[in-house]
Structures are given as structure tokens and as C-alpha cells.
Structure 1
Amino acid sequence: MLEAHERAGLAGQFIEALLQVPVLCCRAGAGELEAGIKRFLPDFMTNSFPFFLSREMMESLEPSVIYHMTDFAGLNFQMFLYGEGEGEPAPSASLYALVAGPYLAVKPDEPFCERVLQENGQSLSLMVPFRQFCLGLPIVSTSVMIGAMRTAVKAVTGEDGDILYRHYEPREKAGQPPLYQGGGEEAVMELLEERYRYEKLMLQEVRQGNTDRALDYFRQFSRASRSIVRTEDPIRTSKNLGFSLNTMLRKSAELAGIHPVYLDIISSNFALLIENAYRMEEVEDIKFHMIGAYCRFVRTERLDQYSPLVRRAVTYIRLHLAEPLTLRQIAEGIRVSPSYLSRTFNREMGESVSNYIAGARVEKAAELLKFTGLPVQNIAAYVGFANLNYFSRCFRLHKGMTPTQYRNRKS
């Protein structure tokens, strides 16, 4: 099992790859955090703006809570503390921190930069370098960042319940303790909690392959998200949410027993579709198609109700469908005796290995007939039927019609 530091490193790589936000993992001490965060800031920033984390503030932080901190320069950081072991309460001396940032929630135009400099009593001669630095930072909405950090907290700490979120901003005058923002933040938190509740319900339905209910929860999830997300680049935000949704759907399908080989293909294809989309409507349509596709795949390919032996056998068959397959070959491939495999497969699947192979080949052929223009004889060979007549007999047995009739009906 991976250590907490290793899990934190992987979570940090996930955030950096998904959102281009730098991530720091270090001991949760004020000195260590200040030194680490300042590595991401130019010298003129560290010399002109006070550091926003004090020792007193660090001592007040709790493990497994997401802290969103906006510093004196308007830069955003999100952080959580974790112990050395999964789920273990740890004394403050052994706590570590994962910090994501700096990033901005809005585009840094001239009025933004001028306001930050004036509020901190800095000369406007810093306008050019300050704005150039800000323009190089990633722009990420609060809700997207919280979603990524929430995933990271669960991956690192093993927390399974709701993850608390708190937002701190510095006082206007340097030297005063940070101020916890209440009031409007409570309303945002209610929306976030509603959003995460619908997210959880949606993923539960995806794991069961229930398309209609999953889409219904996704619509409610989207409405809650629109109430929170406010950015100047809505298409980029929608794409980032699409990438996060793709990752969550993949995880739900994996929990349903879908082999990672298939999930790699599905998730990679949808990631390309999302990134290459040019219009907001196109990105939103892809999200709905993505949920439907994962649900359909779970319904047709899920294996979580079977024993590990049968799951290995089915996966082997699916990966070698185009090759000549025999009971002995499959048994050798998964390192089990043919007789034991045959008995177990028949008991759990309700059919013999040979019948399952024929059915799987017919289903794959039906998919190719529906979505490609390949000749019937090519499809037969592609799915492992060496004899065209035998392919036609098997297809008629499973589908009640010939391959040509099936293609014409579907078209």
C-alpha cells in the first residue's frame, strides 16, 4: 500500500496535470510552507507583499479540511493537512500539507492589478512586472479547484464522508490575523454541499448503469454548479469540469468491474472530444453523451458480481476475441485448470465458455455492423469467425436475423 507521502505526490500530479496549478507537499510548519510557497513567487513579490500564513494560523488548522486562502496580492491557494498514515490522527509535529497554488479565479486585467498594488501601498511602477506575473498564472474557478482538492483529500487520507471547506482572506492592514469570511460563504457552502450530493447520487447510478437516473442527477448537479461558477472564460471552465466528470465516471465504471484497458480507450476518446470542442453547447452535449456511454458500458461489460476467476477469464476472452480461443488456452492464460474454470464459469455465468465466446463475438460484430461500413466478411474475421457461414448461423441464433438484415434495420 502506498504511503501518505506517495499518495500526496500522485494527488499533486493529478492537480498539476488537470488544472496546471503548481502543487507543494511539505511539513505543515509555517517556516517550511513559507519557504516552499515563495519558490513560486518572483523576488519583487516576496519583497513587496507580506506573507499570508502565520504560525498562529497554522496551529489553528485541522487535518482533512480544505482551506482556501487568498493572499494580500489576490493570489489563491488551497491547502489541506494530512498525517503520515491513512486515517490516522496525527500530532501537529507529524502533520504534512498539500498546497495548490498560486492561481487566480479571474482574469488579471489592469484595474485588478492596480487595485491590488494600491491596497498594499505599493508603487504603480510595479504594474508591468506584477501583471506579467499574474498573466502567467492559471485561472481556475473556485468550484473546480474545490472539486480537485476534494478528490485529493480522499485519495491521500482515505476520508469517505463530506470534506469541510473554509475560506480565509488577510486583513486589509498587514500584521493583523487572517479573517475568516462568513455570511455569503455560508450560502456558497450550501450550494457546494448540494452539488456534491447530486454528484454522489449520479456516480452511484453510473455504477449501476442507470442512464436515465444518472442524467437526471447530472442535470441537478449542473444547475448547482452554475450557481457557483463565475469566470471570464466559461468554455475553459466547462472543459475543465468535463475533464473532472470524465475522471469520476471512469472511477465509477472501474468500481463496477470494468477492465482498465477499456476505460483507457473510452476516457481518452472523450478527453480529446472535450479539448477539441469550440462551443459551449458542444462541450455540454459531450458531457451528456459521456454519461450515457459509461452507463451503457457498465450495463454490458460489468463484472463486479462475478468471482475474480471469472472476471479474469472474461477479460482474457474480450482481449483475445479475434484470436482462436479454446477452454485450455484461456485456462493457461489465467493459470488455472481447464476443468475448474469450466465448472466455475458455467455455475456463475449460466453458460459454457464456448457459448460465451460466440455470444461475445456476435455482440462485437453487431456493434461494428451498426457503427462502421466494413464488409460483413471483414467483420466476421475481425471478431474471430474464420467461417462466414458459421458466423451467419451464430448471428441469427443470437439476434434472430442475418448480419445484413441487422445492418439494414439499424441504418
Structure 2
Amino acid sequence: MISLNQYKAYSNLTLNLLGTNFLYLNEELDGCDYIDRTNIPAAISKSFDLVLLGDLLNHCNVGQVCEVKTLFNIHFSTLHLWNNDGFAIIGPYLLNPPKSIDIEAILKTNKISATLKEKYINYFNSLSVLNYDRIKVIFDTLSQSIYNEQIEYSEVCNIELPTNIIYPSPVFETHSLQKRADVIEQRYLFEHEFLSKVAKGEYELAHDLIKSPIFLNRIPNKLRNEKNLLIVLNTLMRKAIESAKIHPFYIDHISAKWSVKIEQISELKDIDPCKRDMIYDYCHLVRTNPLTNYSSNVRKMITYVQLNISMPITLEDISRKLNVNASYLSQQFNKEVGKSLPEYVTEKRIQEAKYLLRGHSSLSISNIATAVGFSEINYFARVFKAKTGITPSEYRNQSMTENIV
């Protein structure tokens, strides 16, 4: 049976070499048979399910490559693996350039409204155009390295997807649907755990979780799909930190910021750094704005500090804003937070300065000092060193080389 690490390697190889998916289908449905459906028209997506779960896979003999053609002239290549290990599948892809395909005829044959023509054209244009010579590289490498077997390509079997296909395939036996349900349930439990770490501001644990192999269930094959998944992740983390009672102002700000950054991504290599930094940003927000254990007055005080971090902040200003006695507010703040308001303000300013020094290399130290409420850069440097043991410049340099959080 193909291991998860082997699957990942072949998935990456197929993506880089062919620009499409490498799928592994076996009786256990181990979570390696998923195609990202974000931009796939519904009727085409259904035809893919017929390929992946239909009885036609049984038409391929062990060690034989079958080329499957759907009702939309979209193709998959399947290799029936040895030792009852299931099937390796490459696709979807086209044999001919999209411009040579009669989209109108395909829509008419499949009884699909012509108003959807543009959507179907866009999807066909997103598919790779492949031939057997390129696909052969993947299957040959797999059969030799894992099974020490050779494939006879003169025996390629061409199959057109019929309309009366058996669904689901007997090859997966009666427990296949339960297996798929178990995989999906495991994935959502895992995602719930990830979001709970974000809601607690536990960056290291959250980042480690999202690198787990279970997230392979959603490996897409195009930059747009990767960006769509980042958008989903942004939304999920936005909802997760609401439980920490973060002020909506900050939630809207961070969500909007990352929406813009995601759309600005132009290369696949920028996806993982964006994901890492976005998780850090949300966790940082929770760590610096934890309000769940405070009373309403103290929550409002903390929110006021955050919203006015660049301005002078006094207890009298806050008391007038909240219309509550200043002495009472001071006692309440000290009791719940464990430090005085001035101490807290200074701590938050240094904390915010560290964040800006770490992630905003284009900002000068003078600008950062002003942004966190220090009118004098020398005074800012003295306070920063007293709190951290190093100067702002030293902190910035170390953060660039040692990934200081």
C-alpha cells in the first residue's frame, strides 16, 4: 500500500511536472482521493465522482493503465496497482487544447444551460493538456520504485464513461461510505483543534497542526485554489478569535488586511509563508487582547488602550469616556489585571513595538516609536531596553535571524 509520505511525494511530483492531481484510491479510502472542487462546475464534479467511485475501474487489469474519458471530454489515467493496493489516478486533464473543444456541443449533450458557457470555458482553460509520454513518467517511477514492476503501455485501455455506471463501485465493498465519513469526521475534528489553538493564541501549536498530513485531503492543483483555501482559513480564524472576545474593530482589521494580502499572491511559493504569517497574526492578536476573563469595565479599558495606543492615555481620560469613577476603575483594573493601568499601557506599547519590529522591516524605528505612543525616540529606546534587555535595533536584527516571537 502506498504510504502517506509516498502519496505526498507523488502528489508534488505530478503537480510540478503535469499541473494536475495525483490521486490514490484504495479500499480504506485513506484520504488521498480528493480533488478541490472550488471552481469545478457541478455537473463536471459529479462526473468525476463517477470516475473515482464508479465500477469502471474494475475494467483495468492489474498493472494496466486505463485512460478514462468523461462525458465532458475530460480525462483521467488510472493504474491498477499490484497486491490489491487499489488505484493510482492522474487527472483531470485534456488531450487537446481547450480552444479545439466544442463547449456548446458538450453543454447541449449534457443538457446544461448555455448561460453557463463562460463558467465551463474558464474551467476547461484551467486544465492541463497532457499526453501519455508525460503521464508515463509518473506511473513508471511509481511502479518501479514501490512495486519493482514494469507497465506494458501497449495495453492502455480506453474507457468512455457510460451514463448507467454502478455507484459506488463494488471494489470498495459495503464499508466504503463509512470509511469516507470517518475520514471527513477526522478532518473536521482536526480543524476544530487547530482553531481552538488559534483562539488561545497558541501560534507554535497551531502552526504545527496545520502542517499535519491530514491537511493533504485538500491539496489543490492551482494557485487560485490555494488562494481560495487561504480565504477560507482567514474566515475560520476570524470566527475562532471571536470566542476570545476580541473587539470587532480588530477582527475586521485583521481579516480585511489578510484578504488583501491573499489576493496579492502571484506565485505558489508565497502560499506557505502567507499561511504561516496569517496564523501568527491571529494568534498574536489573541495573546495581546485576551478579554474573556475580565469584567465589562476592564474589557472596555483594555480596548480603549488598544485603540489609542499611539496617543497619550490617562486614567482620567478613560474614566470620562466610560462615565465611571476613576478611583473605582483603577482598583478594578489592578485587581483583575494584576498591574496598574500605566504599567499595562507601557507593556502593551512595548509588545506592539516588538510586533512591528519583527514583521514590518520597512518601518523606521522612529516611526514605530510614534506608532506605539512614544514622542521621543531616545525615551522609547530606554524603555524598550529596560523591558527586553536589548535595544530596538538589536531586537529587529535578532528577529530576522532567530525568528523571535
* TM-score between the two structures when normalised by the length of structure 1: 0.54
Match of 2:295 in 1: 307
Deviation at 1:339, TM superposition (A): 1.5
Match of 1:338 in 2: 326
Query: In structure 1, the residue corresponding to 2:293 is in which secondary structure?
Result: coil
Match of 2:279 in 1: 291
Partners of 1:72 and 1:313 in 2: CA distance: 51
Partners of 1:127 and 1:328 in 2: CA distance: 67
Partners of 1:388 and 1:349 in 2: CA distance: 28
Match of 1:210 in 2: 202
Partners of 1:353 and 1:137 in 2: CA distance: 57
Match of 2:373 in 1: 384
Partners of 2:329 and 2:341 in 1: CA distance: 9
Contact 1:310 1:345 in 2 (8 A): yes
Give the partner amino acid of 2:372.
V
Partners of 1:202 and 1:302 in 2: CA distance: 18
Deviation at 1:268, TM superposition (A): 2.1
Contact 1:385 1:391 in 2 (8 A): yes
Partners of 1:330 and 1:236 in 2: CA distance: 46
2:351 aligned to which of 329, 344, 363 = 363
Match of 2:259 in 1: 271
Residue by residue over 1:151-205, the C-alpha shift from the partner in whole angstroms, topping out at 9 and shown as x without a partner, is xxxxxxxxxxxxxxxxxxxx969xxxxx996876555433322221211111111
Query: In structure 2, the residue corresponding to 1:358 is in which secondary structure?
Result: helix
Match of 1:282 in 2: 270
Match of 1:242 in 2: 230
- From the superposition, tell whether residues 369 and 310 of structure 1 become closer, same or farther in structure 2 (CA, over 3 Å): same
Partners of 1:129 and 1:348 in 2: CA distance: 61
Match of 2:186 in 1: 194
Deviation at 1:403, TM superposition (A): 3.9
Query: In structure 2, the residue corresponding to 1:384 is in which secondary structure?
Result: coil
Match of 1:395 in 2: 384
Give yes or no for the alignment of 1:324 onto 2:316: no
Deviation at 1:343, TM superposition (A): 0.9
Ranges in structure 2 where 5+ consecutive residues have no aligned partner: 1-39, 47-91, 127-161, 401-405
Match of 1:222 in 2: 215
Ranges in structure 1 where 5+ consecutive residues have no aligned partner: 1-69, 77-105, 141-170, 174-178
Contact 1:113 1:127 in 2 (8 A): no
Residue by residue over 1:243-291, the C-alpha shift from the partner in whole angstroms, topping out at 9 and shown as x without a partner, is 0000101111222232222232322222222222223332233223322
Residue by residue over 1:104-140, the C-alpha shift from the partner in whole angstroms, topping out at 9 and shown as x without a partner, is xx8996478656644x6x7xxx997774574479999
Percent same amino acid at aligned positions? 32
* TM-score between the two structures when normalised by the length of structure 2: 0.55
Residue by residue over 1:219-249, the C-alpha shift from the partner in whole angstroms, topping out at 9 and shown as x without a partner, is 33422223xx6xxx62222111110000101
Query: In structure 1, the residue corresponding to 2:298 is in which secondary structure?
Result: helix
Residue by residue over 1:35-82, the C-alpha shift from the partner in whole angstroms, topping out at 9 and shown as x without a partner, is xxxxxxxxxxxxxxxxxxxxxxxxxxxxxxxxxxx9996688xxxxxx
Contact 1:195 1:225 in 2 (8 A): no
Query: In structure 2, the residue corresponding to 1:270 is in which secondary structure?
Result: helix
Query: In structure 2, the residue corresponding to 1:311 is in which secondary structure?
Result: helix
Alignment of structure 1 residues 26-41 onto 2, 5 Å: none
Contact 2:103 2:117 in 1 (8 A): no
Match of 2:130 in 1: none
Residue by residue over 1:324-359, the C-alpha shift from the partner in whole angstroms, topping out at 9 and shown as x without a partner, is 211010122233221221111000111111111122
Higher relative contact order (CA 8 A, sep 6+): 2
Alignment of structure 1 residues 80-229 onto 2, 5 Å: 110=101, 114=105, 117-118=108-109, 131-132=117-118, 134-135=120-121, 186-220=178-212, 221-226=214-219
Match of 1:48 in 2: none
Moved more, 257-266 or 343-352: 257-266
Give the partner amino acid of 1:225.
R
2:244 aligned to which of 256, 263, 269 = 256
Partners of 2:289 and 2:390 in 1: CA distance: 23
- From the superposition, tell whether residues 131 and 368 of structure 1 become closer, same or farther in structure 2 (CA, over 3 Å): closer
Moved more, 277-286 or 305-314: 277-286
Query: In structure 2, the residue corresponding to 1:324 is in which secondary structure?
Result: coil
Partners of 1:241 and 1:317 in 2: CA distance: 34
Contact 2:41 2:119 in 1 (8 A): no
Partners of 1:180 and 1:207 in 2: CA distance: 41
Partners of 1:280 and 1:256 in 2: CA distance: 32
Query: In structure 1, the residue corresponding to 2:374 is in which secondary structure?
Result: coil
